[in-house]
């Protein structure tokens, strides 16, 4: 009987450890989401330009340069630059991205 009590206590401890781990992971995910929202809002507060996919390569270079400046002043982490930048693609550029991102996701591990 004492062995059963010991096993039950071990099981209870294991379950408590799993619960604590699940709570910690949940809190970490909430914090990460909050951080991502904060960064997105910081970038958005600067009213980034949209890129519509014009033929003019200078327009694309200017858009990229403007976005890079925003990323720098807002301390945007590398892992968020693509998702934030792609949010500001419109019209033809957005259509292009919707086709290309599937391959990009597979090749680069993009989230």
Q: Which residues contact 90 (CB under 8 A, 6 or more apart)?
A: 50, 51, 52, 53
Determine the pLDDT at residue 10: 73
Q: Which residue has the higher pLDDT, 5 or 74?
A: 74
Determine the pLDDT at residue 30: 47
Residue 100: give the domain boundaries: 2-108
Region of poorest pLDDT, from 16-25, 43-52, 53-62? 16-25
Which secondary-structure segment (H or E) carries 102?
helix 91-108
The beta strand positions in the chain, using DSSP E, are: none
Positive/negative CA dihedral, 78, 83, 89, 94: positive
> How many domains does the structure of the chain reveal?
1
């Amino acid at each position: 009987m004492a062995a059963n009590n010991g096993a039950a206590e071990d099981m209870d401890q294991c379950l408590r450890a799993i619960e604590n781990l699940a709570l910690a992971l949940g809190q970490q995910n909430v914090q990460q989401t909050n951080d991502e929202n904060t960064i997105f809002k910081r970038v958005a507060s600067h009213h980034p330009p949209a890129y519509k996919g014009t033929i003019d390569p200078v327009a694309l270079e200017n858009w990229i340069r403007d976005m890079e400046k925003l990323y720098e002043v807002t301390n945007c982490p590398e892992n968020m630059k693509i998702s934030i930048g792609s949010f500001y693609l419109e019209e033809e550029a957005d259509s292009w991205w919707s086709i290309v991102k599937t391959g990009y996701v597979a090749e680069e591990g993009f989230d």
